[in-house]
Structure 1
């Protein structure tokens, strides 16, 4: 499924809750800079090591997703995993085993420019120590074709905070980023209070949003909630990704945050990955959602 929408129409309709596939990526050709279109893939919440009835194919969906992404033509410029690469465990040796197995599986991706960030399942029990052994820093920046990408860590702190030190780092980075530079933020938990009762929030997320607000072109992509969700804080668009293991219910739609039961008739419903196209030459943009089986064998 594919939607293309102009930014002015997105801003009108977002408040109606009618946009299913939308992104704030628009109008990103900088003055004096040649416009370059590109797209990237977001994958999230693989929970490698999970076993249980919500997904009897728990060891199959990640390889299927890798095969599906490998089938994309042309291939994406890069891929980003927005956390919960593995499922939580109290055993440090088992945590490293799962991270090692995950890294081996995604090593089969055709695109080798892959960026990682932890989820609370990967990092909250050891403040990200094991994750860093396999994937490096938990927060960092990179630039691609005129877009500034920021990876924030709101999971290594078991209290679910970004923390003063990282907020100071973010402030320093943004101070060096021109107002005409489009910014994409990747994070695991939502930066706004989506549903704090289910841990769907960041305790100091408002401080990060406040730092981002002076920049006119900011989009946030996150995971954690295992479903699509689209939200605006001022002009900043926030988009949640589906998971690669099991879907979760809509925020507050039931008493407990329990996975949506497996549907044998539609076994991969609610699972998938997304690609985001950055069309810098015009004011159109595009976000597409794909099921994990697309292109899989």
Structure 2
């Protein structure tokens, strides 16, 4: 059940208080019986919910390798610190998902650097979806050459593990104002979920939010409702995105949306300023706005546990 928002941006006062403590932290997501349950990393109650055979994965986002600016003078170091945190979580994640803007300018050197850094993470698999910064000038071709193996269309795909169905979408290639999926991708989702039972937990990854977080800044996807309609019969759907460089959660019906923070630099809260430009924080404060997210799922329980952890 969704909480009544106290502001035009869709976050209730209770949600704001809860998530303010998570800003820039690592979120551990645990799926239990089809729902996402969130808790702070290393939080005792959350840890107690994790049993043998649980699925645990980590989300990182918006590393922007190649960015140069006062908001973060060394994005490679902060991304490296995020990956180091993954290696010291106390467990080996089943996989790591990077939800886009791996690079800042889509150059071959930047893609190769990200791929090399991700290859060193202690996990069984690494997945990615592209951000708009990963398709600068070439409609995502350089990204797909390095990260598109086994994907369909412009890089979308799905997979199953631990009783959960995962869908990775691309909504950054046909940008005018908002994110866009396109009919081919919508048809892919229709075929992809046709044979799934309605009690299957579904997790959807994308770069740009699939809900209207703040359309004036392009923080929404214009045809997302068509995909969400295809997922309406499922008892639990969790959508995880990047792009906005800050933590934000919203529940609408059977769908819970979680926007992730960044490993590069913060952006202003929705509507705070004329545009979402990189924010320069006081000395020593940058790490508090950066982080990783951990997700856990235990079969037979109705929740995913989400845990955000700060780099600072």
Distance 1:282 1:210 in 2: 24
The equivalent position to 1:18 in structure 2, one of 6, 9, 14, is 14
Q: Could you tell me which residue of structure 1 aligns to residue 121 of structure 2?
A: 109
Q: 1:284 to 1:202 in 2, by over 3 A?
A: closer
After the TM superposition, which residues 1-297 of structure 1 pair with which residues of structure 2 at under 5 Å, given as runs? 11=1, 13=3, 16-19=12-15, 20=19, 25-28=31-34, 36-88=53-105, 95-123=107-135, 125-136=137-148, 137=151, 138-159=155-176, 160-283=179-302, 285-292=304-311
Distance 1:218 1:185 in 2: 8
Superimposed CA distance per residue, residues 16-66 of structure 1 (whole angstroms, 9 cap, x where no aligned partner): 44232797944339xxxxx94221100000000001000122221111111
Contact 1:25 1:219 in 2 (8 A): no
Q: Could you tell me which residue of structure 1 aligns to residue 47 of structure 2?
A: none
Superimposed CA distance per residue, residues 89-128 of structure 1 (whole angstroms, 9 cap, x where no aligned partner): 5xxxxx1111011111122111141111111100253222
TM-score (norm 2): 0.81
Contact 2:162 2:299 in 1 (8 A): no
Contact 2:265 2:289 in 1 (8 A): yes
SS of 2:307's equivalent?
A: strand
Unaligned runs of 5+ in 1: 1-10, 30-34, 90-94
Superimposed CA distance per residue, residues 135-154 of structure 1 (whole angstroms, 9 cap, x where no aligned partner): 11321001011000000110
Shift of 1:174: 1.4
Distance 1:24 1:162 in 2: 27
SS of 1:157's equivalent?
A: coil
Contact 1:70 1:109 in 2 (8 A): yes
Superimposed CA distance per residue, residues 179-198 of structure 1 (whole angstroms, 9 cap, x where no aligned partner): 12110000000112211111
Contact 1:76 1:111 in 2 (8 A): yes
TM-score (norm 1): 0.85
Shift of 1:176: 1.7
- The higher-RCO structure (CA 8 Å, 6+ apart) is 2
Aligned length: 273
SS of 2:62's equivalent?
A: coil
Shift of 1:13: 4.9
Distance 2:134 2:279 in 1: 22
Unaligned runs of 5+ in 2: 6-11, 36-51
Distance 2:160 2:272 in 1: 38
SS of 1:142's equivalent?
A: strand
Shift of 1:199: 1.2
Supply the RMSD in Å over aligned alpha carbons: 2.2
Q: 1:24 to 1:157 in 2, by over 3 A?
A: farther
Superimposed CA distance per residue, residues 187-243 of structure 1 (whole angstroms, 9 cap, x where no aligned partner): 000112211111111121121112211212111000000000111232200000000
Shift of 1:12: 6.3
